[in-house]
Structure 1
Amino acid sequence: MRFLAGIATAICAVNLVIGRTFAWLSLAIVVVCFTVVVQRYLFSASYLWMQDLYVWLNGAMFTAVAGFALLRDDHVRVDIFYRPARMRTRALADLVGVFLFLLPFTWVVYQYSMPFVLRAWSYHEASANVGGMPGLFILKSFIIAFAALIALQGLAMAIRSILVLSGHDRLVPESIRYRTDQGLTNPAKGDA
């Protein structure tokens, strides 16, 4: 069981580093968008590649931080039933949800996006706009990264559920512990 806990810890560490790193793109998005607006309305100038840039940064950020959001328990769920449930009930719901919904979803995303991404790489696809940015094929690769990071974090959730259901909840990594009824929160969220 310690081996499983170690795998979950490693997965969470990867998503934590990627999430915290790519979250900084939000600042870059604001700066680029602000620059585009200032150029357009104050100087009557517009660069199409800059407009592409903030849209592409947005896409890269949201696909890269999806696993981090799952780690932090920030994805949408029906909290009216889930939050008041006992830890073992939540573990069972997560285990079923991961194998019935999350992993099949990530497999479908991977299967349908891989030919799309490979085709973009085959001819180094760029923006469809004249004067737009090159390298759209790199951005499209983030679809695969999205599926992989979500699937990995789903496996970490499944491991957490297995540890809880088998009575080894003390081995659950701190970054993905369930919230308790005593008001303790998920340390990955930075709550006290």
Structure 2
Amino acid sequence: MQATPKRVRSFQFVVALFSLLLLIIVGVTFYEVIARYIFRTPTIWANELALWLSAILFLAAGLYAMQRDQHLRITVLYDASPAWLQRIFDLITLACCLTFCLGIAWFGAPSSWQSLMNWEPFGTAWNPPIPATVKPLIVLTTGLMALYGIINCVKRFRGIPADTAESVTEDNRVD
């Protein structure tokens, strides 16, 4: 069995923590269903909490996919293409990624900053600060995704296989 580097183990720990959010979301949703349909006492917080945690989890999952260079790709065309055409596809992918991510970050920054400074609430009975936390996270995440897009494109141009630094043996898998 191969020893797992400390950096990879700590990264696996962070991934496992985010995976626990799924269990919390399921638990909160289960509690809400039981409270609403069995005891006829619905909560004012369960739906918003599940929404809040789901938003954080989706942002983390997108960043995780970009970090590992395992986002969606039309591999039928890409794998069948010669190396020069793959590089063109990589540049087109990078241009689309940067346009989207930097556009979201640039145009979302003023709104997210205002939400954060005003600690904008959600506007429901429980009124959690979902916009105040999620909007800045969207801007931060898309900025990081753009950075990972550049890193991934440079790695492909240099011929470095995806996820070499974090490759883990089957015995050490998180999932």
Q: TM-score range by the shorter chain?
A: 0.7 to 0.9
Residue 106 of structure 2: aligned partner: 111
Write out the 4+ residue segments of structure 1 that deviate beyond 4 Å after TM superposition.
12-20, 86-89, 188-192
Measured against aligned partners, the alpha-carbon deviations of 1:69-116 in whole angstroms (never above 9, x if no partner) come to: 123444322221123445665354224421x21112111000111111
Give ranges in structure 1 of 5+ residues lacking alignment. 1-11, 177-186
- Give the Cα separation in 2 of the matches to 1:106 and 1:143: 10
Offset of residue 58 of structure 1: 0.6
Identify which range, 37-46 or 80-89, moves more after superposition: 80-89
Count of aligned positions: 165
- Give the TM-score normalised by the residue count of structure 1: 0.70
Which of 64, 67, 71 in structure 2 is aligned with 1:71?
A: 67
State the superposition RMSD in angstroms.
3.3
Q: Residue 93 of structure 2 aligns with which residue?
A: 97
Provide closer, same or farther for how the CA distance between residues 87 and 44 of structure 1 changes in structure 2, counting only shifts above 3 A: farther
Instruction: Report what 2:5 is aligned to.
Output: none
How high is the sequence identity, in percent, across the aligned residues?
22
Aligned residue identity for 1:41: Y
Q: Which residue of 1 aligns with 2:136?
A: 141
After superposition, the Cα gap between the structure-2 partners of 1:19 and 1:155, relative to the gap in structure 1 and judged at 3 Å, is farther
* Residue of structure 2 equivalent to 1:24: 20
* TM-score (structure 2 length as normaliser): 0.76
Q: C-alpha displacement at 1:163, in angstroms?
A: 1.2
CA apart distance, 1:18: 5.3
Asked whether 1:151 is paired with 2:151, we answer: no
Tell me, in whole angstroms, the C-alpha distance in 2 between the residues paired with 1:21 and 1:83: 34
Q: CA contact under 8 A between 1:95 and 1:161: conserved in structure 2?
A: no
Question: Aligned partner of 2:164: which letter?
Answer: E
